[in-house]
Amino acid sequence: MKEYNVAIVGATGLVGNTFIQILEEVDFKIKSIRFFASKRSAGKVLYFKKQPIVVEELNENSFDGMDLALFSAGGAVSLKYAPIAVSKGCRVIDNSSAWREDPSIPLIVPEVNFRDYSMNRLIANPNCSTIQSVLPLKALDDAFGLNRIIYSTYQAVSGSGQKGKDDLIRTLNGEEPKFYPYNISKTCIPEIDVFLDNGYTKEEMKMIHETQKILHRPDLKVTATCVRVPVLNAHGVSVFCETKKKASLEEVRSVLEKFENIVVLDDGKNHRYPTSIVANGTDQVYVGRIRQDLSNEYGICFYCTADNIRKGAAANAVQIALKLAQSDEM
């Protein structure tokens, strides 16, 4: 069985730490592992399977001899260093938004479009809210065809990285916010990433474009409103979708239940529905509150949750790496 030399770029961050944790959990054969971050964290000691590993400052030689690099250090680092890693023969799975909309770069959710990987050694990992939404949407698109999607998100502060978690804890302790524009312990904030000229935020446009790309449906009508909520971890997304073929609730439940890594929790009267609490620390997507839209006979509504750091980032990337290794395509 082949073993791989692995580089974690952004190892000291929330996603980077979760890469390390997940690589400890899964059966991915590792010959060597190196941790990279900025100058600020160089020299810090992290652990992999109880072995101390010193964090190194990322530089152009960091990828020499590496087979796989998992990037989670922001777009600027990915834009500069991912092509360097690729030029050295390394497979790169990038968590930033730097390459996601590039038509030549595959954007992959393994349960949905793993076969989109190509000989291009760079793969983009989608946005966290998009990943959890496209599992149920793929199931529904295959079964009934989709015409239109309306997303409303309820995104946890961990989606902003460590700074977001710190700001929620700080403001819960009665201190002033230092990161979000408002006190996140007291309000939801309908601003994620920067505002664009069309009135949408960049996060909302990411959800729109990434959904169309992953589902291979550039014609699909999608709109989104993205909101940060005072929850530490695990995003919620409320989804309305309009199908081409009429679908009964039983049929909808049945296709969702059969889809890989979806857990249907849909018994409202007994308080069984997706929450951030149930999703936290897991790699599944929880789907519930499944309803026929009363205002549209082709409309289906549901709510889904997932751990944005695991399934929405690190676990999705590691699943891609595992599948590549199984297909001998690493």
Ligand X SMILES: NC(=O)c1ccc[n+]([C@@H]2O[C@H](COP(=O)([O-])OP(=O)(O)OC[C@H]3O[C@@H](n4cnc5c(N)ncnc54)[C@H](OP(=O)(O)O)[C@@H]3O)[C@@H](O)[C@H]2O)c1
Q: Catalytic positions, please?
A: 128, 235
101-109, long-range: CB within 8 Å, 24+ apart, which pairs?
101/209, 101/210, 101/213, 107/210, 107/213, 107/214, 108/214, 108/316, 108/320, 109/134, 109/135, 109/214, 109/316
* 37 touches ligand X (CB under 6 A): yes
* 159 touches ligand X (CB under 6 A): yes
- Least Cβ distance, residue 57 to ligand X (angstroms): 7
Residue nearest to ligand X (CB): 13
CA-to-CA dists, residue 197 to 99, 200, 202, 205, angstroms: 21, 7, 10, 11
* 288 touches ligand X (CB under 6 A): no
* 236 touches ligand X (CB under 6 A): no
Task: Name which position in 312, 319, 321, 330 contacts ligand X (CB under 6 A).
Answer: 312
* 313 touches ligand X (CB under 6 A): yes
* 280 touches ligand X (CB under 6 A): no
* 12 touches ligand X (CB under 6 A): yes
Cβ neighbors of 64 (< 8 A, separation 6 or more) are: 88
* 316 touches ligand X (CB under 6 A): no
* 168 touches ligand X (CB under 6 A): no
Four-residue CA torsion sign, 21, 26, 28, 32: positive
* 41 touches ligand X (CB under 6 A): yes
- Least Cβ distance, residue 252 to ligand X (angstroms): 28
DSSP classification of residue 51 = E
- Least Cβ distance, residue 19 to ligand X (angstroms): 9
Q: What binding mask, one character per residue, do residues 194-233 give for ligand X by CB under 6 A, x or -? A: ----------------------------------------
Task: Name which position in 224, 308, 315, 319 contacts ligand X (CB under 6 A).
Answer: 308
Q: How many residues does the chain have?
A: 330
CA-to-CA dists, residue 254 to 198, 263, 265, 266, angstroms: 38, 11, 12, 12
DSSP string, 235-298: EEEEEEEEESS---HHHHHHHHHHSTTEEE--BGGGTBS--HHHHTT-S-EEEEEEEE-TT-TT
Q: Which of residues 50-89 bind ligand X (CB under 6 A)?
A: 58, 72-75, 77
User: What are the residues binding ligand X (CB under 6 A)?
Assistant: 10-16, 37-38, 40-41, 58, 72-75, 77, 95-96, 128, 158-159, 161-162, 308-309, 312-313
